[in-house]
A and B are shown apart, each in its own frame.
Chain A
C-alpha cells in the first residue's frame, strides 16, 4: 500500500503594516532577526520614543473624551507621561537614558499644547483596528494573507464648514482635498514619532515619504471596507518631532535645505530661517520656531483617490509577497543570510543595526 503524503495545515500569514511590512521594507535581514527571530534591538530608542508619544496622545484623548478638555497643564502632562512610561516598562520598553526621557516628555507637552486642541475635537474614532484578507500570488506561496493595522485616529467633520477654517489641520486638509470632494468625509490620521523625512535624491534607498503615504492610503482602503465607514477623502501624517525639534533636528534640516531635500523650508529672511541657521542654543534650551512653521513641518496631507489607494495596497502586497518568498527560501536553503536579501541601503538603518557584523552588505561607513 502507498502511504498518503502529509499535508501540513495551511495557515494564512498575518502581516501588520507597521510591525511587519514597514520593518521589512527598511531591511529584510534586520526584520528577520528582530521580528521573526525575536532578538530585540540593543538600543530600541525609536521604538520607545514612537510608542511613548502614541501612548500619551491616546491616553490624553481618552481623558479629553471624558472631560471635554485637553489635559495640557504641566501636572496632567507629567502624570500622563508617568503612566505611559510605566505601561511601556511593563512591556519591556524603557527610555535608555534620562535625556531621551526628558526630550520625550517635553515633546509630549508641546504636542498636547499645540496640536491636541486642534486635533481632538475632530476625532470620531481612535485606535481603529483594520484587517483584510488579500490575495498573494506566487509559486508555492499561500493564496492569501491577512493585512492588519491600527489607525491612530479617524476624524469625521464637515470639512468645508467655515467655522472650522481656523483649525490649521482642517485648513491643510481643505487645501489638499482631491478635486470634486465635498460634504462629510473621514480623514485618517497617523502619528509618526519621528521628524519629517526629506525628499529622497538617490536612486537607491527607501523613500520613507512614499512608504508612509502608501501606509495611509492602505489604511484608507481597509477602512473603506468597514461597515461603519464613511468615504475617506484624505490621510494626515503628523510628524510629531517637528512640533518640538532638537538642535540636532535643526542641523539635519539645514543639511536637507542645503541639498534640496527639505520639502518644507522657512521663509527666506524670516525669524524661523534665522533660528534654523543658528548652530546651537544654550545647554538645555530648545529652538524657538513659530507655531505656524512647526505645524507646517509636522503636517503632511495625503489626498485619497481610488487609484492611489489601489496602488498603495498593491505596493504592500508586494512587500508581503517578498516576506513569504524569503521565508520559503530560508526553509529550502536553511540559510538566513542567503534568504533575506533586501538589505538596507540606508546608512542610518545600518549604523544602528546590531547585526551589521554578520550582514553580507552593510551600508554606510
Chain B
C-alpha cells in the first residue's frame, strides 16, 4: 500500500514530535526524492538529523518503499546510531502523521510503513549481505574474513612462503613504495596488507604494474606479485575474501547484472562519512545508482577526512558532483550544513580561524565552502584555554589540579573571573583528553604522569588502548603459562622463526609465569597436567588450545570477572580462531602419538609450533590489539583518553587537546606530529601506486598532503568541544618559540601566526 503525505504535513508532524528543522537541513530534506545530493556538513551541524529526516521524507512524502532505501556509514557503531535515530524519530513521526490523516485508508497506509525495513549498515556488511542473499544455487559465496585472519594469511602465505621475508628485492621495493625504512617482519606484513587493500581501493591496474618498472625494481615487483598471489590463493582455498575483496566482488556482480533482484527495487542510496571513501566504493555506489536508477545522496566533510592511511581519497568527496555527473545522467546538487549546534560561539570561531589559518590548505577544501556559524541565540561561552608548563610532571600536576577543581571541588576560577564547574549530575567523564596517541608505554609522557597524579587524588583515567597488548599483565601470564604448559623446555618455540624482540618477550613472560606458579599451587598443578600430557594414558589425542586458555583464565583470579580483563582473553581466542582457519592443526594440541608428518616430524610438536607461530608470536609482536567493538561506553566517573581518530564522531563538554607535551626541541623525529618535512607512508604509497589507478597521481605534493592531514586532525580534535576547549603542552611549544607546530598556529610557510597574539587564555 503506497502512502503519500504532503511536505507541509510532514514538517508539521516532525516539528510536533521533535523540533522544527532549520532552513539548511530543509533544503537537503525537501529536495525531490529522485534528486542526487552532495551534502557538505561541518562538525556539529546535524548531518545525522538531516540524513534521518531525508530518509523519512523519502518514505512518507515520496512513497519510496522502505526496502528500496539503503543507508550506509563508516563504522558499525555509527551505523547502529543511525539506525537507532531512524527508529526513535520514525515511529513517533508515523504515529503523528497517522493521527493527522484525513481518511482511514491513509491512516492505515501510514502505519503500514515499516521503518525497520530500511537497510542500514556499513558498506562491507551491505556487500556481504548482497553476495549471500542473492547467490545462485550451488554458487560458492566468498565469506569476508576478519582482519586477524587475513593478517595471518599474509604473514604465513604472503611473506614467509618461499622465504620472501628474507628477499632483498622485496624489501627494497617496499622501501621505495612506502617510504618506510624499518622493515622488520611485522612491518613488512603490515605494508603488504596495505598494498593488497590499495590495489582494490584504488582499482590499480596490477597486471600493468607487475609487468613494468625499471630493471632495478622488476625483481621486487615480481616478488610482490608472488606475495599477493600467495595471499589470494590462501584466501581462495578457504572460500574467503578480505573486506576489500568483498566490495570488489560485489561491484563485479553488479556490473555483470547478477544483482538485479536488489537493483530492481532500489530507489535511494544514502552514504554518510563520504569524505573517507575510496575509488572502489565510489564505483560501487555509482554503479548501484546507475543499475537501479536510484538517487544517491552523499554526506561528509572534507575537513574531517582522517583515513588516508586506510586508502581514503578526500578528493572523491570534494569533486563528487563533477565525478558523479560523468556517470549519472544528472549532476548532484551541493548543499551546505553550516550552523554548528554543538559548540559555543568562541569554539566555533576558533575552529573557523584554525581552518583558515593556512592559505594553502584552502585549495584542498570543498570549493565555496562557507565558514561555520554558531547557533543563533547560543550562549556566549568561555575563551579557549591554554595550559603550558615547563615539564611534563608539572603539566600533569596542573592538569590534575584543574580537573579536581572542576569536577570534585567548587570549580576553577579563571583569570577573567569566570568559574568553571561541572554540571549537575556530571562527572569526570564529561571531559576527554585527546592526544596523538593514547599509549602509556613511555612513563615520561603526559598520560602516565596524569594517571599517577589523578590516582593520588582518588580519580582515574579510562584508557583501554593505553598499552600494547604484550605489556599487559594478564596477557603476559596467559601467554607465558601457555608456553610453559605446551613447551616447557622452549625447544619448540626456539625452532619457530621469530625476531630477537619476540624471544626476549617470551623469556620475560616465562619468568613472570613461573613466579605466578610458585605462589599458586592450583595454577602449577594445572600447567603440570598439560606438561605431562604425552605420558597420561587418558589424555585425548587432540585437545583444543582454547581449553588450555580458558583453564588458565579461570585460574587467574578475577580474569573472567572483570569486563576489561576479559577483553584480553578475547585477544587469544581471536588468534586461535585465526589459527583454526589458516593452520593445518585447526587450533588443536595433538599428542605425538597421533602420528608424524610426511617428513617424519611428530604431529604433536607440529601442532604446538603452529600455535606459537599463529597465536603467541603475533601477540608478542604486538601485531594484535583490543577488539574495538567490545569496548563499551565510557564510564561516567573516569577521564577518557582517546587518539584524535578515535574521537571522531564524539563530543564532550570539556575537551583537552595535547598539542605539545612532547615537544621540547625542534627535533626532526617529531616533525610529522607538528610540522611535516616530508610526506609519510600513506602519501608515498599514493604517489607510487596511483600512477596505475584511473584516478592518476595526486595533484598536491606529499608534504602538502601531510600538512593537510595534520590540519584536519586538529580540526577534528578542536571541534569535539561543546563548552570548553583546553590546549595543553610544554612551555617550549608555545607560539613565539622555535618549534613550528600546526596545532599552535603555524602555517606551512613557516609563519607563526599566533605569536604575540595568543587566541587562548593561559591558565
Q: Is residue A288 contacting chain B, with contact meaning CB distance below 8 A?
A: no
Do A1 and B381 have beta carbons less than 8 Å apart?
yes
Complex partner residue of A89 from B238, B430, B554, CB under 8 angstroms: B238
Do B423 and A3 have beta carbons less than 8 Å apart?
yes
Complex partner residue of A5 from B238, B418, B653, CB under 8 angstroms: B653
> Bound state CA distance, A2 and B88, in angstroms?
29
CB neighbours of A42 from chain B (8 A):
544, 546-547, 550
Per-position binary interface string of chain A over residues 51-94, scored 1 when its CB falls under 8 Å from any chain B CB and 0 otherwise = 00000000100110110000000000000000100110111101
CB neighbours of A62 from chain B (8 A):
135-138
CB neighbours of A358 from chain B (8 A):
553-554, 560-561
Q: Is residue B424 contacting chain A, with contact meaning CB distance below 8 A?
A: yes
Do A1 and B143 have beta carbons less than 8 Å apart?
no
Q: Is residue A139 contacting chain B, with contact meaning CB distance below 8 A?
A: no
Do A38 and B630 have beta carbons less than 8 Å apart?
yes
Complex partner residue of B424 from A2, A43, A90, A334, CB under 8 angstroms: A2
Do A4 and B653 have beta carbons less than 8 Å apart?
yes
Complex partner residue of A39 from B115, B137, B140, B573, CB under 8 angstroms: B573
Complex partner residue of A87 from B88, B91, B143, CB under 8 angstroms: B143
Per-position binary interface string of chain B over residues 123-151, scored 1 when its CB falls under 8 Å from any chain A CB and 0 otherwise = 00000000001011110111101000000
Do B240 and A90 have beta carbons less than 8 Å apart?
yes
> How big is chain A's contact interface, by range?
35 or more
Total A-B pairs, Cβ < 8 A: 167
Do A8 and B423 have beta carbons less than 8 Å apart?
no
Do B80 and A11 have beta carbons less than 8 Å apart?
yes
Q: Is residue A133 contacting chain B, with contact meaning CB distance below 8 A?
A: yes
Question: B698 to nearest A CB, angstroms?
Answer: 35
Q: Given the known A-B contacts A6-B426, A37-B630, are A225 and B570 also in contact in the complex, defined by CB atoms under 8 Å?
A: no
CB neighbours of B653 from chain A (8 A):
3-6
Q: Is residue B87 contacting chain A, with contact meaning CB distance below 8 A?
A: yes
A-contacting 9-mer, from B22-30, B278-286, B574-582: B574-582
CB neighbours of A91 from chain B (8 A):
143
Do B563 and A336 have beta carbons less than 8 Å apart?
yes
Q: Is residue A357 contacting chain B, with contact meaning CB distance below 8 A?
A: yes
Q: Is residue A191 contacting chain B, with contact meaning CB distance below 8 A?
A: no
Q: Given the known A-B contacts A6-B430, A227-B1, are A12 and B88 also in contact in the complex, defined by CB atoms under 8 Å?
A: yes
Do B550 and A355 have beta carbons less than 8 Å apart?
yes
CB neighbours of B406 from chain A (8 A):
3
Do A131 and B547 have beta carbons less than 8 Å apart?
no
Q: Is residue A361 contacting chain B, with contact meaning CB distance below 8 A?
A: no
Complex partner residue of B138 from A8, A83, A94, CB under 8 angstroms: A83
Q: Is residue B322 contacting chain A, with contact meaning CB distance below 8 A?
A: no
Q: Is residue B569 contacting chain A, with contact meaning CB distance below 8 A?
A: yes
Per-position binary interface string of chain B over residues 547-565, scored 1 when its CB falls under 8 Å from any chain A CB and 0 otherwise = 1001101110000111100
CB neighbours of B630 from chain A (8 A):
36-38
Find the residue from A36, A38, A94, A225 having the highest chain B CB count within 10 A: A38
Q: Is residue B114 contacting chain A, with contact meaning CB distance below 8 A?
A: yes
CB neighbours of A227 from chain B (8 A):
1, 112, 114
Do B634 and A8 have beta carbons less than 8 Å apart?
yes
Complex partner residue of B423 from A5, A37, A89, A127, CB under 8 angstroms: A5
Q: Is residue B81 contacting chain A, with contact meaning CB distance below 8 A?
A: yes
Q: Given the known A-B contacts A92-B581, A225-B114, are A59 and B137 also in contact in the complex, defined by CB atoms under 8 Å?
A: yes
Complex interface residues of chain B between 618 and 660 (CB less than 8 A to chain A): 627, 630, 632-636, 651-654
Per-position binary interface string of chain A over residues 315-347, scored 1 when its CB falls under 8 Å from any chain B CB and 0 otherwise = 000000000000000110011111000000000
Question: B295 to nearest A CB, angstroms?
Answer: 22
Q: Given the known A-B contacts A1-B419, A3-B422, A3-B426, are A357 and B577 also in contact in the complex, defined by CB atoms under 8 Å?
A: no
Do B573 and A38 have beta carbons less than 8 Å apart?
yes
Do A66 and B546 have beta carbons less than 8 Å apart?
no
> Bound state CA distance, A94 and B586, in angstroms?
9
> Bound state CA distance, A38 and B573, in angstroms?
8
> Bound state CA distance, A337 and B560, in angstroms?
8
Complex interface residues of chain B between 422 and 454 (CB less than 8 A to chain A): 422-426, 429-430
Complex partner residue of A357 from B554, B586, B634, B723, CB under 8 angstroms: B554
Question: A73 to nearest B CB, angstroms?
Answer: 15
> Bound state CA distance, A326 and B76, in angstroms?
23
Contacts A12-B87, A143-B88, A355-B560 aside, 19 further interface pairs with beta carbons under 8 A come to A1-B381, A3-B430, A4-B426, A4-B430, A4-B723, A9-B81, A11-B77, A33-B566, A37-B566, A39-B570, A40-B546, A43-B544, A62-B136, A87-B140, A87-B141, A330-B563, A331-B633, A331-B635, A354-B547
Interfacial residues, chain A to chain B (CB-CB below 8 A): 1-6, 8-12, 14, 33, 36-40, 42-43, 59, 62-63, 65-66, 83, 86-87, 89-92, 94, 127, 131-133, 143-144, 146, 225-227, 330-331, 334-338, 354-355, 357-358
In the A-B complex, the 7 residue pairs with the closest CB atoms:
A62-B137, A90-B239, A90-B143, A357-B554, A3-B653, A12-B84, A5-B426
- A to B CB contacts below 8 Å, 28 in the list: A1-B421, A3-B406, A4-B430, A5-B430, A9-B84, A11-B81, A11-B83, A12-B84, A36-B630, A37-B630, A38-B570, A40-B573, A59-B138, A62-B136, A62-B138, A87-B140, A87-B143, A89-B581, A131-B116, A133-B115, A143-B88, A330-B563, A331-B635, A336-B562, A336-B563, A354-B546, A357-B551, A357-B554
